[in-house]
Amino acid sequence: MAGITSPGTVGPAATPSGATAPEDPAFRVFIDSLSYLPPDEVELVRAAYAFSEAAHRGQTRLSGEPYITHPLAVAGALAEWHMDAQAVIAALLHDVMEDTAVGKAEIAERFGKPVAELVDGLSKLDKIEFQSYQEAQAENFRKMLMAMARDLRVVLIKLADRLHNLQTMSAVRADKRRRIAHETLEIYAPIANRLGLNKLFRQLQDLSFEHIHPMRARVLARAVRAARGNRRELLTRILDGIQGKMQEVAIQAQVFGREKSLYSIYRKMLDKHLSFSQVLDIYGFRVVVRDVPTCYLALGALHALYKPVPGKFKDYIAIPKANGYQSLHTTLIGPYGTPVEVQIRTESMHHLAQEGVASHWLYKDNEDSSADLQLKTHKWLQSLLELQSTAVDSSEFFEHVKVDLFPDEVYVFTPKGKIMALPRGATAVDFAYAVHTDIGNRCVAARINYDLMPLRTELANGDQVEIITAAHANPNPAWLSYVKTGRARSKIRHFLKTMQHDESASLGETMLNQELLALGMAPSEVPIASWEQLVRDSGNRSMKEIHTDIGLGRRLAAVVARRLLATDDALQPEHGHAASLVIRGTEGMAIQLAPCCQPIPGDAIIGSIRKGQGLVVHTHDCPAIRSARSSDPQKWIDVEWEPEAGKLFDVRIRITAKNARGVLGRIATGISDAGSNIENVSMDEKNPGLYTVLHFTVQVSDRVHLAEVLRVLRRIPEVVRLARERG
């Protein structure tokens, strides 16, 4: 299989076999298809074929065919798109680095560096050890997309390779066929769609469907063939009607019917819970006219011929899809009440709709449209590079890109009238990050169609969106639960990780300084040479990284302090125990107040260092940590509150009160009079009798403030029991 090719679809088998000779009919057809290239470049392609054939000699595909038939078929697909000689040569050689002893340097020497780069971009990373198939897939995908961002021809070769593998998988194990087909539906078909390769997109979908659900595909194909015969009269009548109307209004147009792909019919049946007989729009019609004004004239004529279905008109000419697709779509009520979908477009739009970015090579008379698509594709590829720079690993990058590959879009407007395309379900936060990273990081609210709306509001077609920012605002981790775009998700995670690392470095430095003082050494007196030696030995790049590791619980402060002072780990601090760590509770993500016991200033507290999470603070008597404290005492450190914490803290209280009119209002007033905010309130509904149990989360500054709140509540006659909740 191909260089980032379908995994194993057709990996070479090590059985000797006669290779395809240059006199082979398939080779002659291939060479004839290169008539668009200059003769000297055709000779270079011949040389590449001979080189590939020699490299793969003795290898066969699982079907028993000589392996060279696969690269030849892939190169043939590129010749159909009229790709340049470098791309065709790279297609012929795309598996030699992966499956033979040929290296990148040899390819560069024989066929030039650009060809070697293309082949390298397509080669799988077989020589690297991965934890799992998913991790290997993610890394291969990342490498391919990075190569594709540098040179779009990489992905065109890859897609042609995947198509041929799907067409020739009959000899592959059923489970492997399904895995490759699922991967194609999830990744490669959406990429083809994103690049506007509509014909290829449909082929990949239908072939994958046949491999995943062979029986369903056969049954559905039979039903479509039967329907084709049953509905022939109706379709002929509609086709004649449209052609007649075009002639009547003197519009020159090509009119032809088109059948929905098997997979799109299957998806419609599945998504809308329909039987095959209920899917009425299996057939659609396409009207291809001379220019854009004629598209709208044809639309008016069709609406005069058959009544349009309200809400089913889409103008992708005025607002093209992100992949450059342009057409007018309308659904009409045809004879016998049958819904008829019609697409109206120009010749150049039709080329672009079928071949997408490949039309740049295929139709040289289509320069304006293809240049616009090239620009859109370039912007998308640049966004991939940006995602790559902020993703921590290949799996995260893979996740971000998959989110952006889904084709359904909404079109919204900026306050200045600029149109922006976002995935369906995108929120105001996605819009903010699409405008600029700083706008996203600082957004606090949004005006949608001039109304103030929450940031989590989903955007609809035609919305005008204005983002309100604040200088000191930061991304909220909760945004990750509802953003839809890979860009927004990536930027939020990057900011939160950076902020957590900075806060963890500060916490780690405080903890290390405390340990050094306990060992009788002022932090400023530690020799620079000791720090340099520790950084070298630890594999970290700087002091800050060591501090971050301590703050995140990856290293123990006591061990690092003793390493710095070159003392024995068994040595005890001079003063018996290290001083308690002083916290304010406002440090951010590096220090977390445990939700189980909700410590507040005045509580006796203890901290636990959790790997990757930093310091988690509990009350001394928290029931959730009793067993953990005794089983692993080394992970616990004494913590104290700073005298002036200067923050409000959440605390839960449980109130048992008589069922009486107005009691909830009196309790809320009492809490407010004590200078506290109510964050949340709920009630037990199990035994709605004489008494009701209410659960409040209130905000207090410390234990003294909490005592004042409880004192005020006890004065309310209906309150019969009151307690702080823990655990």
The residues that are catalytic are 98-99
Q: Let me know: does 623 contact 513? Beta carbons within 8 Å.
A: no
CB atoms near residue 221 (< 10 Å): 14
User: Considering only CA atoms, which of 84, 152, 167, 154 is closest in space to residue 122?
Assistant: 154
Q: What are phi and psi of 173, to 5 degrees?
A: -55, 145
| Beta strands 581-583; 636-641: pairing state | parallel
Q: Cα dist. 495→78, 474, 492, 498 in Å?
A: 42, 8, 5, 5
| DSSP character at residue 427 | B
- Two tokens at 203? 């082929």
Contact 4, 124 (CB under 8 A): yes
Q: Which amino acid is at 520?
A: G
Q: What is the CA radius of gyration of the chain?
A: 34
Q: Is 405 exposed, middle or buried (0-12, 13-18, 19+ CB in 10 A)?
A: middle
Using an 8 Å Cβ cutoff, are 576 and 610 in contact? Answer: no
What contacts 223, CB < 8 A, 6 or more positions away? 276
Residues in contact with 716: Cβ distance below 8 Å, sequence separation at least 6, in sequence order: 657, 663, 666, 667, 670
* Pair 275, 266: CB distance under 8 Å: no
- Locate 32 and state its tokens: 């004839």
Task: Tell me if 536 sits within 8 A of 546, measured CB to CB.
Answer: no
User: How long, in residues, is the chain?
Assistant: 727
Whether the Cβ atoms of residue 153 and residue 117 lie closer than 8 Å to each other: no
Extract the runs of DSSP E, i.e. beta strands, from 23-143.
Answer: none
Placement of tokens 């052609």 in the chain: 243
Residue 609, classed as helix, strand or coil, is strand
Amino acid at position 308, single letter? P
Distance, CA of 453 to CA of 475 (rounded, Å)? 17
SS (H, E, C) 68-85: CHHHHHHHHHHHHCCCCH
Contact call for residues 14 and 59 (beta carbons, < 8 A): yes
